[in-house]
Amino acid sequence: MLEVANLNARYGRAQILNGVSLSLGQNEVVAVLGRNGAGKSTTMKSIMGMVRQKTGQITYEGQSILGKPSHAICRAGVGYVPEERRIFGELTVEENLEVGRRDKRDDAPEWTLEHLFELFPNLSERRKNLGKQLSGGEQQMLTIARTLMGNPKMVLLDEPSEGIAPVIVEQMANVIAELKREGLSVLISEQNLHFARLVSDRAYIIEKGSVCYDGTFGHLDQNPEISNKYLAV
């Protein structure tokens, strides 16, 4: 589905990624772990075409998407859920969803408003409210729903569990399970190892802009020194 090889990225003079390589298979949920500032978000933004200075290969369904503008990448079926939520505060919930709406694709499940409101009942109650009036957790739900309105095949989820209440984290885990059931492929960036283990099939760890672990959660659990070294547990 997605193949990233030897990706380098920089902001101005600061080199952030040094040869990141990772892959995501069809209908797989894969976590990218790493500490604050390790380069998880930069990896996702690079895939999404939101970092301009980058080299390497990014292949999506056999086609290179490196250097493509982000709207083209989105239209190819990649959904992106940013870490700081970035909902449109002055737009209502429905309007936020409208911005994300794209035509149905043959090769991906279709998400209707009804289906999304079923999945996120809180949003349904607040559909006429402005984005800025929602709670943090509701905003997090809204960003995901907004991305799903684009009927993506693959979703990049940047730190979905960050800064939200434990009950909502649980709800978030269900949502990700639902995405997998629907046949989507999901790349999640996480700092929370427990949450990542709960929802994903395998993991990468990024440290200082390079991948330093690639394997299963089982292997991570048997070798706690890895998590101790690379993750803030």
- Residue from 125, 166, 129, 122 nearest 144 by CA: 122
CB of 147 to ligand ATP, least distance (A): 18
Contact with ligand ATP (CB under 6 A) among 1, 33, 42, 58: 42
- Positions touching another protein (CB under 8 A) are 11-14, 45, 48-53, 69-71, 74-75, 80, 82, 86, 88-91, 95-96, 98-100, 102, 146-147, 150
Q: Does 139 bind Mg ion (CB under 5 A)?
A: no
Rounded CA-CA distance 138/120 in Å is 9
Residue pair 135/161 in contact (Cβ under 8 Å)? The answer is no
Q: Is 93 or 172 the residue whose CB approaches ligand ATP more closely?
A: 172
* Nearer to another protein among residue 71 and residue 106 (C-beta): 71
Closest alpha carbon to 184 in 78, 83, 97, 98:
78
39 binds ligand ATP (CB under 6 A): yes
41 near Mg ion (CB under 5 A):
yes
Candidates 36-44, 68-76, 126-134, 178-186: pick the segment binding Mg ion (CB under 5 A). 36-44
222 binds ligand ATP (CB under 6 A): no
Residues 78-137 that bind Mg ion (CB under 5 A): 83
- Residue 161 CB-density burial (10 A; 0-12 exposed, 13-18 middle, 19+ buried): buried
What are the E-state strand segments in 69-182?
78-81, 154-158
Instruction: Kindly state the tokens that stand for 63.
Output: 């086609």
First-to-last CA distance in the chain?
31
At closest approach, how far in Å is the CB of 232 from ligand ATP? Answer: 9
| Per-residue DSSP letter, 85 | -
x/- track of binding to ligand ATP for residues 78-117 (CB under 6 A): -----x----------------------------------
From 39-47, 71-79, 112-120, 177-185, span contacting ligand ATP (CB under 6 A): 39-47
Binder among 41, 147, 185, 200 for ligand ATP (CB under 6 A): 41
Tokens matching residue 4: 């990233």
Q: Which residue has the tokens 């978000």?
A: 41
Residue 118 near residue 127, CB atoms below 8 Å? no
> Using CB under 5 A as the criterion, which residues of the chain lie in contact with Mg ion when the complex forms?
41, 83
